[in-house]
Structure 1
Amino acid sequence: MDQPVIVGVDGSDPSLRALAWAADEAALHGLPLSVVHSPAWGAYEGYGPSLGISRSARRIHADNVVGTAVERVNRRSTEVKAYGELVYEDPATVLTRMSREASMVVLGSRGAGGLAGLLLGSVGLEVAARAHSPVVVVRGEDKSLHRGYRRIVVGVDEAGEPSPVVEFAFHEAELHGADLDMVHAWRCPAREVPDHPDHLTDIERHRALAEQILTEALPPTAGSSGVVNVRRRAVEGHARRVLLDAASTADLLVVGVRRRKSHAGMQLGPVDYAVLHHAPCPVAVVPHA
């Protein structure tokens, strides 16, 4: 069986936007869609049915969340085979485990407090940090959610060679008939020293290295496809700001993650963390290995 697109739902508006995005993606890829819900989701994120409600009532509520979500997919597309899965572990744990057999995991961006729409819930952060497949957090306005810009942005890091991150972005651009912008942020230390002399040679060296990294990052098959319009952009600046600016007119921002382990468990890097919280469009986090 083809690896499904997995979407986590909790009945909230952000998760329903993620459901619609995931349904369209599954239809385009010709993949089944697994709609996953855990009754623990609300408690995990700090909202949902009161703990005073009986266990049977919570089960009915959970069944309704899954059933309604599957019905929405069936109404949206007759091409997608959608099925619901009701699980009883905390959602981050089960989605991380299920990601081993998934083409991607899709989640909504959930607001909190006075910064609604900016903060990603704890489920999304943990799954993005630990999943084995790409994780897409669906956020942004209608034009990007409906893929109206026909443009995908991928952040290219220092690897300077084809990676699963660029390959994922290229394949998405190919399927969606979108342009692909490969963006690499570079910085020249000389510019960051107060009253520095104008080290033009040093600046040009850093710029040339950035352009070389972008050239080497394109998959070998990309040039022969002739389908995707690829643009390479070496931009001076902090990676977080450069990528957020580039994503302002994009349907999808793709970034890589090299997970770091600390006393708190698996951690995302600062760039991944920033774009997951603040990007103006859906964000795909793709493991490097």
Structure 2
Amino acid sequence: MPLHLVHVVPQDLYPVVEDRSLEIRGNEVLHAAVALAHEEEPDLTVTATLVAGSRVPSILNEIGPRDVVVLSSRGPNELSRIWTGSTTIGVAARAGCPVLVLPSRYDADRPPTGRVTAGLQRPDASEALLEVAFAEASRVGASLLLLHAWRLPSGYDDIITGRTEGDAWAAHMTAKLRDAVAGLRERHPEVPVETRAVHGQPARVLVDAAVGSDRLVIGKPAHGGFVHHLGGTARGVLREATCPVLVVPAHVAEAGTGTDADVSAGASA
């Protein structure tokens, strides 16, 4: 799986900053990143591109439908995290391929825990997410937690919380989860699977459940009027998760999970 590094430098800053100075600095960043990649994986095929322009469209122009984009929300301070966060949200919302987001508190040297968590809003309409989640768990030899979290709007949630209707809904969604993965469990007998339906604020439930996971897999709409949209749950997860989050478009099945996929890592000045 080759690695393509993308670094974006600002455009139209002249005469405050000369374009040549930005180009020199950008190439220094890329050369250091290529050297680090080869230090970690000497046999890895690494290419690099320096782009001048706006971050989100520049990164999107460098990726294809079978790529996996890797971004980091890491920043030395709160302001930089806000800045990188807007880039991360923008790319994750608009990319037509899976986007892997590394959190600011992520420790790359941490040994794997052997657990992948996936959050599903509609189990019967999450084929792409489930395909990718099972493939990820199988690839790293991990177990898979499939989680549906639900909560009604204020004023209505209190009506059923703690009543039999809440228990009935949890049982109903757990059954739908099991039905949705029946075929994939047969295809991936090596992946231990747990299904769970939980009442609570979805982003908080997913973030808490994924603590210690090697991956948290979530989906996003990829059709209709929400093709470039991330909902509040996905945005909350990307802000708060302490493990890597893989955002999967609804139309993607196995893109990015095979050895022929490219990994594009985006960076910006």
TM-score between the two structures when normalised by the length of structure 2:
0.80
Q: Pick from 192, 202, 209: which aligns with 2:157?
A: 192
Residue 102 (structure 2) pairs with residue 132 (structure 1) = no
The answer (yes or no) to whether the contact 1:38–1:87 under 8 Å persists in 2 is yes
Partner in structure 2 of residue 257 of structure 1? 220
Moved more, 181-190 or 164-173: 181-190
CA distance in 2, matches of 1:67, 1:234: 47
Distance apart, 1:218 and its partner CA:
1.7
CA distance in 2, matches of 1:55, 1:117: 25
Gaps of 5+ in 2: 252-269
Distance apart, 1:178 and its partner CA:
1.3
SS at match of 1:228: coil
The answer (yes or no) to whether the contact 1:96–1:131 under 8 Å persists in 2 is yes
Q: Which amino acid aligns with 2:93?
A: A
Partner in structure 2 of residue 223 of structure 1? 186
Structure with a larger share of its residues in helix = 1
Q: Pick from 38, 61, 82: which aligns with 2:8?
A: 38
CA distance in 2, matches of 1:266, 1:273: 13
Label 1:61 to 1:112 Cα distance change in 2 as closer, same or farther (>3 A): closer
Aligned residue runs from structure 1 range 22-61, under 5 A: 31-40=1-10, 52-61=16-25
Q: Pick from 118, 123, 127: which aligns with 1:154?
A: 118
The answer (yes or no) to whether the contact 1:147–1:251 under 8 Å persists in 2 is no
CA distance in 2, matches of 1:119, 1:149: 30
Q: Which amino acid aligns with 1:193?
A: D
Moved more, 147-156 or 124-133: 147-156
SS at match of 1:132: coil
Q: Pick from 200, 213, 216: which aligns with 1:237?
A: 200
CA distance in 1, matches of 2:21, 2:101: 30
Partner in structure 2 of residue 174 of structure 1? 138
Q: Which amino acid aligns with 1:284?
A: L
CA distance in 1, matches of 2:232, 2:183: 30
Q: Which amino acid aligns with 1:236?
A: H
Distance apart, 1:207 and its partner CA:
1.5
Highest relative contact order (Cα 8 Å, sep 6+), 1 or 2?
Answer: 2
Distance apart, 1:191 and its partner CA:
7.9
Partner in structure 2 of residue 266 of structure 1? 228
Distance apart, 1:67 and its partner CA:
1.1
The answer (yes or no) to whether the contact 1:107–1:137 under 8 Å persists in 2 is yes
Label 1:287 to 1:198 Cα distance change in 2 as closer, same or farther (>3 A): closer
Percent of pairs with identical residues: 29
CA distance in 1, matches of 2:241, 2:101: 10
Residue 72 (structure 2) pairs with residue 108 (structure 1) = yes
CA distance in 2, matches of 1:55, 1:244: 42
SS at match of 1:235: strand
Partner in structure 1 of residue 260 of structure 2? none
Gaps of 5+ in 1: 1-30, 44-48
What root-mean-square deviation, in Å, do the aligned CA atoms of Structure 1 and Structure 2 show? 3.0
